[in-house]
């Protein structure tokens, strides 16, 4: 009897313990649910800029999705690819991955040579643009995450991806947006292209259309020569720090802070887009936004990667290129007048349709304000570039306003008139004409026009947009700088 009572007592104790544990788990779950909030906004029209402001007293932390699409981690990127609509019936998964990297990243100049930039998280969420090696590495790593055997090849400086599927290797050039077919109608492998370059110069089927920018190049003998021998080609190492596999993009906004970022496709191509984080004066403390830092303006002291920097002495290019492993955490030590941080961000992720569902998910969102506008986003530049670009902007704004009212004609006379007018405006400015070789600058413009005409006539229009044109003109002038003391 005693044993029976003891047994019942033990059972009752266990049941009570389970109830208590369950009760506390429910409390934890309830609190967790209370902390996680979401705010959804319907954005309509063709606007350019999203501005998110924290008017509350607590730091707001949130992730972003548009039309239900989430890219804030490598896991979410892979999930998005798996669920992409088919471009054609029974489109295989490797082609969806190819299409994703082709359409959600773009060709751009090099920011860093470090391998952490091979991370799909970094390329897709932050840089957005990169050279062929970085785009190929992104595709190859995504394919590996999808369960494929994949590798990248360096062909005398040009990098492509190869994936093994359907019992054969298939080569994909995501930077040029092309792949080639063998005589059996299958996507050709690296070795097949090396052994038979006519698959490039006389293709079985053309993927690109004649109006595409790279059309001439991808079917040229020049490109075929890259494949002509395997002796000078090597496998390209796409490995990166696997800690980035677990990174998740959450934005942090202290009280009174705001974040502005591009929400339009026009902020891509030949330059990078930047998110702007404005921190009010007086705020000090840590900020962790896992995007690559591009610069900062204002006054004060900021600790980054265990080093203190005066805000106006922070050189992002030097700092980033010294980092074998990327660091995201900033700590504001002194902030007398407010600080603006700039981050590399991929604007292609945040705009998909004219009417967009824009959702924030996170904590302390009750006093978040979201504005959708078409004001111009100012690109972050170094002090020297910033001065020159501001001067060009003031000189050429009226000119671009006039030119935007003219129907674009991409013939030689039209381009010559365009270049003559730009050069004359610069020549009439005493400071610019004394600082730069404008005759050489004019020759550069003609050379660029000839290159474009050889490749395609359809990519000109972007170079007539004020923001891109001024950036391009600035780069050309810097190549022709005769008196560096002035700028």
Instruction: Give the 3-state DSSP-derived string for 124-147, with helices as H, strands as E and coil as C.
Output: HHHHCEECHHHHHHHHHHHHHHCC
* Strands (DSSP E) found in 173-299: 233-236, 251-253, 258-262, 274-279, 285-288, 293-298
Mean pLDDT of all residues in 341-367 = 85
Residue 327's nearest CA partner among 305, 297, 358, 306 is: 305
Mean pLDDT of all residues in 210-239 = 84
Q: Which residues contact residue 206 at a Cβ distance below 8 angstroms, ignoring those fewer than 6 apart? A: 219
Residue 404's pLDDT is 53
Q: Do 179 and 172 form a contact (C-beta atoms < 8 A)?
A: yes
Which segment of 4-18, 180-194, 335-349, 418-432 scores lowest on mean pLDDT? 4-18
**Encoding tokens for residue 59?**
């730091």
Residue 320's pLDDT is 83
Would the pLDDT of 42 be above 80? yes
Would the pLDDT of 213 be above 80? no
Q: What is the rounded CA–CA span in Å between residue 228 and residue 19?
A: 72
* Strands (DSSP E) found in 368-478: 368-373
Would the pLDDT of 71 be above 90? yes
Q: How confident is the model at residue 473 (pLDDT cuts 50, 70, 90)?
A: confident
At 115, is the secondary structure helix, strand, or coil? helix
Q: Do 338 and 378 form a contact (C-beta atoms < 8 A)?
A: no
Q: What is the rounded CA–CA span in Å between residue 279 and residue 332?
A: 10
Which segment of 19-28, 224-233, 260-269 scores lowest on mean pLDDT? 19-28
Residue 177's nearest CA partner among 210, 134, 213, 146 is: 213
Q: What is the rounded CA–CA span in Å between residue 54 and residue 253?
A: 6
Q: What is the rounded CA–CA span in Å between residue 98 and residue 81?
A: 10
Q: What is the rounded CA–CA span in Å between residue 285 and residue 303?
A: 10
Inter-CA distances, 434 with 420, 475, 482, 484, Å: 18, 17, 8, 11
Residue 403's pLDDT is 57
**Encoding tokens for residue 322?**
């010294």
**Mean pLDDT over the full length of the chain:** 82
Q: Do 40 and 368 form a contact (C-beta atoms < 8 A)?
A: no
Mean pLDDT of all residues in 257-281 = 74
Residue 456's pLDDT is 39
Higher pLDDT, 225 or 111: 225
**Encoding tokens for residue 399?**
């000119």
Residue 353's pLDDT is 63
Enumerate the β-bridge partners of residue 164: 149, 169
**Encoding tokens for residue 424?**
């004359």
Burial of 357 (0-12, 13-18, 19+ CB in 10 A): middle
Q: What is the rounded CA–CA span in Å between residue 45 and residue 251?
A: 25
Distance of CA 83 to the CA centre of its chain: 21
Residue 120's nearest CA partner among 242, 235, 270 is: 242
Which pairs with CB-CB distance under 8 Å and at least 24 residues apart come from 263-267? 263/43, 263/47, 263/48, 263/49, 263/50, 263/347, 263/350, 263/351, 263/372, 264/46, 264/47, 264/48, 264/49, 264/347, 264/351, 265/347, 265/348, 265/351, 266/48, 266/465, 266/467, 267/48, 267/347, 267/377
Residue 104's nearest CA partner among 55, 137, 71 is: 71
Residue 247's nearest CA partner among 425, 78, 72 is: 72
Would the pLDDT of 270 be above 60? no
Which pairs with CB-CB distance under 8 Å and at least 24 residues apart come from 143-152? 143/94, 143/97, 145/74, 145/78, 145/120, 146/78, 146/81, 146/82, 146/93, 146/94, 146/97, 148/93, 148/94, 151/235, 151/236, 151/238, 152/235, 152/236, 152/238
Residue 299's pLDDT is 93
Place of tokens 């381009």: 415
pTM attached to this predicted model: 0.74
Mean pLDDT of all residues in 159-177 = 96
CA atoms within 13 Å, Cβ hemisphere of 7: 4
Residue 4's pLDDT is 43
Q: Do 69 and 84 form a contact (C-beta atoms < 8 A)?
A: no
Residue 17's pLDDT is 53
Would the pLDDT of 6 be above 80? no
Q: What is the rounded CA–CA span in Å between residue 116 and residue 321?
A: 11
């Amino acid at each position: 009897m005693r044993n029976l009572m003891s047994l019942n007592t033990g059972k009752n104790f266990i049941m009570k313990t389970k109830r208590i544990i369950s009760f506390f788990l429910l409390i934890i779950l309830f609190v967790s649910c209370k902390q996680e909030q979401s705010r959804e906004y319907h954005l309509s029209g063709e606007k350019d800029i999203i501005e998110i402001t924290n008017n509350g007293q607590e730091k707001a932390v949130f992730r972003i999705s548009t039309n239900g699409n989430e890219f804030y981690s490598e896991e979410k990127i892979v999930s998005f690819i798996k669920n992409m609509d088919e471009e054609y019936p029974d489109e295989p998964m490797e082609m969806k991955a190819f299409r994703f990297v082709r359409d959600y990243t773009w060709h751009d100049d090099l920011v860093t040579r470090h391998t952490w930039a091979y991370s799909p998280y970094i390329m897709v969420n932050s840089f957005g643009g990169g050279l062929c090696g970085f785009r190929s590495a992104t595709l190859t790593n995504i394919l590996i995450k999808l369960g494929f055997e994949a590798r990248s090849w360096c062909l005398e400086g040009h990098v492509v991806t190869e994936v093994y599927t359907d019992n054969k290797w298939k080569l994909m050039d995501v930077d040029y947006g092309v792949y080639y077919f063998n005589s059996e109608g299958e996507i050709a492998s690296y070795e097949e292209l090396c052994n038979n370059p006519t698959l490039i110069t006389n293709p079985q089927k053309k993927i690109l259309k004649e109006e595409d920018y790279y059309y001439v190049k991808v079917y040229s003998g020049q490109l075929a020569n890259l494949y002509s021998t395997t002796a000078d080609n090597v496998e390209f190492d796409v490995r990166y720090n696997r800690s980035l596999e677990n990174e998740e993009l959450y934005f942090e906004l202290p009280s009174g802070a705001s974040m502005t970022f591009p929400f339009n496709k026009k902020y891509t191509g030949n330059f990078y887009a930047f998110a702007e984080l404005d921190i009010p004066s007086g705020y000090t403390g840590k900020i962790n936004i896992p995007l690559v830092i591009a610069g900062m303006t204002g006054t004060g002291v900021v600790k980054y990667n265990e080093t203190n920097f005066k805000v106006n002495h922070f050189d992002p290019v030097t700092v980033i290129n010294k980092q074998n492993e990327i660091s995201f955490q900033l700590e504001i030590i002194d902030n007398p007048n407010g600080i603006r941080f700039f981050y590399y961000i991929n604007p292609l992720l945040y705009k998909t349709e004219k009417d967009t569902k824009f959702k924030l998910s996170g904590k302390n969102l009750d006093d978040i304000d979201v504005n959708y506008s078409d004001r111009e986003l100012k690109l972050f530049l170094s002090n020297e570039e910033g001065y020159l670009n501001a001067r060009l902007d003031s000189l050429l704004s009226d000119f671009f306003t006039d030119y935007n009212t003219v129907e674009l004609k991409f013939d030689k006379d039209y381009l010559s008139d365009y270049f003559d007018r730009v050069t004359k405006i610069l020549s009439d400015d005493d400071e610019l004409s004394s600082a730069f070789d404008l005759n050489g600058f004019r020759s550069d413009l003609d050379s660029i026009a000839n290159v474009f005409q050889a490749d395609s006539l359809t990519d000109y229009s972007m170079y007539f947009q004020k923001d891109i044109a001024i950036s391009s003109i600035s780069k050309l002038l810097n190549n022709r700088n005769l008196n560096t003391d002035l700028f």
